[in-house]
Structure 1
Amino acid sequence: MIEEKKLSMEDAILLMKRIGYCKLLKDVWNLRFGGSSLQKRFEKMIIDEEKKKGEKNKMLLPDLCECFLSLNYRYVVLSETVNEICVSCLLKVALKKEESEETRKEAEMALLALSSIRDNFVKKELYLNEIKEIIKYHQENRNLTRLAYQSAWRFLKDRLLVDNGLEEVIVNELHLAREAARELEELSKCVNWKKEKEEEMGKETKEERVIEKWFSEIFHFLYSITLWNEELAGLIGSIVQVYQVAKDNYKEIGDWCIHLLRTEAERRAVNVKDLLKGRAFDTVLEEFQRPTLSDNIECSLLIFFINVSKRLEEKKKDEMKEAKRKELKRKMFEKMEEEGFEDIVASFYEKFSYIFANHNVFIYL
């Protein structure tokens, strides 16, 4: 269409940027772009524009990079040259600190596009200082949109897949657990959790999408980390708060919360006391009272209890830690007795064979 002069290059790029934005926002997969003639054309245009001497169109290279990354399938391995050009270019866009709606929108698109880079190695010197500056500046000044901030974290957290040395930066320097908890709490205030009109039922807002994206990051974060700090207890509490408001009208978000609580019970980086402190234990008990439970949710609830029980059975050599374990175990069993859950616990054993046969489960040992 461009060659036939039915569409200008500027309009074509604008259209593809919009398509790529919607694709990433809704986590749609595009398997046809990788290896296509269009992908190869974008790669050539990006390299040519980077090499161009003299006066340049300042927005053309960022636009090309955004289109290229956002249209790609995030598990496709990109060429090292194009990968490095895109990362450097889009981080410069996101680093702009002018306070305007246009700058915020540019940063959002740049960071959203960067968040699509998953299984590609990126040299630490290309991104680490820049992404740290972007995150820290937002923590102090709140200059990014919620989607842009979540995307910045996704880009950094995905680098953890190939560089375990980032864990200290993510957990203790930039405080992912604390920031995720705060974002979930603030996003929850922006969502109308009581959908009463029929036309509202099938619609999903941008805030709901960002909550789901945070849940996805938290899930992978919990499976990646070995470090622990007190901020994880606050994150558990925030997940529980979202569950309490979402469980009746937002089944997908409510189910996400239960699966995350199950994951927290599985991970050694999460202390069992935090599950009690953050009301995860109470929440799982409450969920068992719901009249209709799907097999998937019932599986997560059962595995939560199995893992917590296993961990409470582990005796500690340190006398002080052993005393704390016994006290925590006593509190949890008293909580279950108060709520009248002895029969439910007894019925678990009848369901184990079914759960093991029909679900891919992980039991903490």
Structure 2
Amino acid sequence: MILEEKKKKDEKNEKLQTDLCECYLLLNMWISSELLSICVPCLLKAASKKEESEDTRKEVEMALLALCNLRFIKIEQELYLNEIKEIIQHHQEYHNLTRLAYQSAWRFLVSRLWDDNSLEKVIVVEQHFAREAARELEELSKSVDWKKNKKGGERKEKEEMITTLRWMQTLSFFFGNCYLWNEEYVELFSSIVGVLRASRDNYREISEKCIYPFEEASGRRVVKIGSLWQSGAVDVALEEIHKSAKDDEIAAKILKFFMNVSRRLKEKKKDEIEEMKRKELKRKIFEKMEEEGYEDVVTSFHKTFDFLSNKYFFDDALSLDIFDYLVNV
């Protein structure tokens, strides 16, 4: 039907073509290059509408939701880059998109990193991804009543909750695939910490997902350990590990986070000033870990390391030597 509609020379039904493309992309993660060349431009055109009406905002949102379902499909830049940049830039100036639509636009663009590292500068430097993500998380956090209890039946998920969860998934993917450092990451990490602490009592499904970007970022050499410390990520990871069960995926993520931090803080710097900074940061983190009883926590997980490693697919098999997980001065 999509191909037949495309072949029409007269009386083309753009709304029908858009609806068909949305349905097809939402139902299929793997599509042919021929259909990509039709669906992507069609949905980007729909997502580029700037009329200020509720119906248009919902049309734009649906088009972007369908596009961001193309997570692991190679798409040539000429099919999407200028258009998606324009959509993001227009929203930054006029705030015409819904929160879910704006998140979806970023998710679509960031998802292209898995196959195209040339997008790093566009995403990080030109479009200020970290700054925008931090701002969105802070605004989402303000719009949610985090103290609300779940009593009286199952809580209905709100758009803010769904969007927040999607941001955490996107950020985890970003830090797992981006190799470019930016000072704006510190603000972003601080925003994630804020969401985690706000949501941990009544919205554990969100607070637990906040650990994922930290685990990915800690393994990236371009991400400075000092930025994780400065933002409070180390503190909040120590707080969370006490809440995790021995067979919990979050426990595995937090342990991997500290493994990465420990490994990188042991790497000596050639520059004398940088080496002094490394030693000082190492001392501070070690003292904080010791103060929070991290060694006791690691010991309590001692018998379950093999289980966690096999179940949650660590890149490195966890050693039974618990001291491998401590930051030793």
TM-score past 0.5 threshold: yes
Displacement after TM superposition at 1:123 (Å): 2.2
The structure-2 alpha-carbon separation of the partners of 1:128 and 1:348, relative to structure 1 and needing over 3 Å to count, comes to: same
Change beyond 3 A, Cα 1:335–1:121: closer
- Number of the residue aligned with 2:6: 50
Structure-to-structure mapping, 1:6-85, within 5 angstroms: 45-70=1-26, 72-74=27-29, 76=30, 78-85=31-38
Distance in 2 of aligned mates of 1:346 and 1:88? 55
Alpha-carbon spacing, 1:291–1:83, altered in 2? closer, same or farther (3 Å)? closer
CA distance in 2, matches of 1:349, 1:220: 29
- Quote the Cα distance in structure 1 between the aligned partners of 2:199 and 2:71: 30
Greater CA drift, 127-136 or 349-358: 349-358
Structure 1 residues not aligned, in runs of 5+? 1-44
The residue matched to 1:59 in structure 2 has which SS? helix
- C-alpha distance in 1 between matches for 2:116 and 2:21: 24
Q: Which residue of 2 aligns with 1:226?
A: 179
How far is the alpha carbon of 1:59 from its aligned partner? Answer: 1.6
Please report the TM-score for the alignment, with normalisation by the length of structure 1.
0.80
Amino acid at match of 2:5: E
Aligned to 1:131: 84
Structure 2 gaps, min length 5: 318-323, 325-329
Give % identity.
Answer: 53
d(CA) in 1 for partners of 2:119, 2:165: 24
**2:80 aligned counterpart, secondary structure:** helix
Select which of 77, 88, 101 maps to 2:41: 88
C-alpha RMSD of matched pairs (Å): 2.3
- 1: CA distance, partners of 2:156 / 2:246: 24
Alignment length (residue pairs): 318
Structure 1 residues 1-365: aligned runs within 5 Å: 45-70=1-26, 72-74=27-29, 76=30, 78-199=31-152, 201-290=154-243, 294-339=247-292, 341=294, 343-344=296-297, 352-353=305-306, 355-356=308-309, 358-363=311-316
In structure 2, do the counterparts of structure 1 residues 286 and 197 end up closer, same or farther at CA, with 3 Å as the change threshold? Answer: closer
1:259 and 1:52 map into 2 onto residues whose CA distance is 47
TM-score of the pair, normalised by structure 2: 0.88
Q: 1:160 aligns to what SS in structure 2?
A: helix
Per the TM alignment, residue 325 of structure 1 is displaced from its structure 2 partner at its CA by 0.4
Summarize the Cα distance change of 1:295–1:64 in structure 2 as closer, same or farther, 3 Å threshold. closer
Displacement after TM superposition at 1:91 (Å): 1.0
Paired with 1:166 and 1:213, the residues of 2 have a C-alpha distance of: 21
One-letter identity of the residue aligned with 2:28: Y
Distance 1:97 1:147, change over 3 A: same
What letter is aligned with 2:50?
Answer: K
Deviation at 1:227, TM superposition (A): 0.5
Shift of the alpha carbon at 1:342? Answer: 5.2
The offset of 1:350, in angstroms, is: 6.0
